[in-house]
Chain A
Amino acid sequence: MMLKTDTWIHRKALVNVLLCFIVPVLFVAHVHAASTQSDFNKVMQSMSQVKKSFANFTETKSFALLNEKLVFSGQLFYTAPDQVTKVVIKPQSERFEIRSDTLYVELADGSKYKLLLSNYPLLEIFAEAYRGILSGNIKVLKKFYDLEFTGDYNNWVLTLTPVEEEAQEYVESVVMYGKAAQLEKILTLENGGDKSLMQIIRPARGKK
Chain B
Amino acid sequence: MPGIWYTATQITLTSDLSQFLPTSSGSTASAEEATTGFLLKELSQGSTSTLLMLAIESINSPTDSIYLARLSKQLQKKLSSSNLFGFISNGSTRLSAKDKALIKKYRYLLSSKTAPQNFTSKNLTAALNTRLNELRSPLAGLVKKNIAFDPGSEILHILKTWQPQSSPDKEHGVWFSQDKRHALMVLEINTSGYDINIQEQAINTIQQVFDKYNTRQTARLLISGPGVFAVKARDQIRSETQLMSAVASLLIMLILFIAYRSPWLVLLGGIPLFSAVLAGAVVTYLIFDGIHGITLAFGMTLLGVCIDYPVHVFSHLNKSQTSLQSTQSIWPTLRLGVITTCMGYLALTLTVFTGLAQLGVFAIAGLVAAMLVTRYVLPGLITHTDLKLKTDFHVALQAYVARLVPIRKMLLVFLVLAITAWFSLFSISWENRLSALAPIPQQQKQLDNILRKELAVPELDFMAVISAKDIETVLQKSEQTEAALQPLIKDNILQGVRAPHQILPSKRTQKTRQAALPDTVTLTRALSISTRTLPFKAGVFTPFIKDIATSKHLELLDNNTLQGSLLATQLRPLLFQADNQWWGVMRFIGVNDSRALAQWFNQYADNNVQYLSITQSSANMIQRFRNETLQRLLWGALIVVAVLIAGLRNMRRVVQVLLATALALALDLVVLTALGERLNLFHLVSLLLVVGIGLDYGLFFSRPDPDSATRLRTLHGMVVCVGSTVAVFGILGMSEIPVLRAIGLTVAIGVAFCFIFAMLLSQNKPLHVS
Chain A residues with a Cβ under 8 A of chain B: 59, 61, 63-68, 70, 72, 86, 88, 92, 94, 96, 101-103, 105, 107-108, 114-116, 118-120, 122-123, 126, 170-171, 190, 194, 196
Contacts and interface: CB of A to CB of B under 8 A. Distances in A.
Contact of A65 (B139, B141, B537): B537
A70 B135 contact: yes
Contacts of B604: none
Interface of B: 94, 132-133, 135-142, 144, 147-148, 169-173, 535-537, 540
B173 A126 contact: no
Given A70-B135, A72-B136, A170 B141 contact: yes
Given A94-B133, A119-B173, A67 B537 contact: yes
B142 A118 contact: no
22 contacts: A59-B136, A61-B135, A63-B144, A66-B537, A67-B537, A68-B535, A70-B135, A70-B136, A70-B535, A88-B137, A96-B138, A102-B170, A105-B139, A116-B170, A118-B173, A119-B173, A122-B142, A123-B139, A123-B142, A126-B138, A194-B144, A196-B140
A190 to B, nearest CB: 7
B133 A92 contact: yes
Given A72-B136, A190-B141, 18 more contacts: A59-B136, A61-B136, A63-B135, A63-B140, A65-B537, A65-B540, A66-B535, A70-B132, A70-B535, A86-B138, A88-B136, A94-B137, A101-B172, A102-B171, A105-B139, A116-B170, A123-B138, A126-B138
A65 B138 contact: no
Contacts of B147: 65
B170 A120 contact: no
B137 A65 contact: no
The 5 A-B residue pairs with the shortest CB-CB distance, nearest first, are A68-B535, A122-B141, A66-B535, A118-B173, A65-B540
Nearest to B66: A101
A101 B180 CA distance: 14
B581 to A, nearest CB: 41
A116 B148 CA distance: 25
A92 B133 CA distance: 9
Task: Give the secondary structure class of B's interface.
Answer: mixed
B155 to A, nearest CB: 15
Contacts of A94: 133, 136-137
B167 to A, nearest CB: 12
A108 B133 contact: yes
B173 to A, nearest CB: 5
A116 B173 contact: yes
A157 to B, nearest CB: 23
A65 B136 contact: no
B536 A96 contact: no
A96 B137 contact: yes
Nearest to A169: B141
Contacts of A70: 132, 135-136, 535
A84 to B, nearest CB: 10
Contacts of A194: 144
Nearest to A88: B136
Nearest to B535: A68
Contacts of A114: 169
Contacts of A171: 141
A101 B138 CA distance: 15
A95 to B, nearest CB: 10
A186 to B, nearest CB: 12
Contacts of A108: 133
Nearest to B170: A116
A71 to B, nearest CB: 9
Contacts of B144: 63, 65, 194
A120 B142 contact: yes
A138 to B, nearest CB: 22
A67 B137 contact: no
B157 to A, nearest CB: 13
Nearest to B144: A63
A88 B535 CA distance: 20
Contacts of B142: 120, 122-123
A8 B140 CA distance: 71
Contacts of B137: 88, 94, 96, 105
Nearest to A118: B173
Contacts of A63: 135, 140, 144
Contacts of A116: 170, 173
A121 to B, nearest CB: 10
A64 B139 CA distance: 16
A66 B128 CA distance: 12
Nearest to B541: A65
Given A70-B132, A118-B173, A194-B144, A103 B138 contact: yes
Contact of A61 (B139, B140, B148, B540): B140
A178 to B, nearest CB: 21
A86 B137 CA distance: 10
B763 to A, nearest CB: 85
A189 to B, nearest CB: 12
A59 B171 CA distance: 30
Contacts of B141: 122-123, 170-171, 190
Contacts of B135: 61, 63, 66, 70
Nearest to A115: B139
Nearest to B129: A92
A66 B171 CA distance: 36
A65 B148 contact: yes
A66 B132 CA distance: 10
A140 to B, nearest CB: 16
Nearest to B147: A65
B170 A65 contact: no
B66 to A, nearest CB: 9
A118 B70 CA distance: 13
B65 to A, nearest CB: 10
Nearest to A192: B144
B282 to A, nearest CB: 62
A119 B170 CA distance: 10
B543 to A, nearest CB: 11
A65 B133 contact: no
A196 B141 CA distance: 11
Contacts of A65: 144, 147-148, 536-537, 540
A86 B140 CA distance: 15
Contacts of A66: 135, 535-537
A92 B94 CA distance: 33
Given A65-B537, A66-B535, A118 B136 contact: no
Nearest to A86: B138
A2 B169 CA distance: 91
B150 to A, nearest CB: 13
B72 to A, nearest CB: 13
Nearest to A101: B172
A146 B133 CA distance: 31
A113 to B, nearest CB: 10
A101 B139 CA distance: 16
A70 B173 CA distance: 32
A196 B172 CA distance: 29
A102 B138 CA distance: 13
B126 to A, nearest CB: 11
A101 B148 CA distance: 30
B525 to A, nearest CB: 20
A115 B172 CA distance: 11
A15 B170 CA distance: 68
B164 to A, nearest CB: 15
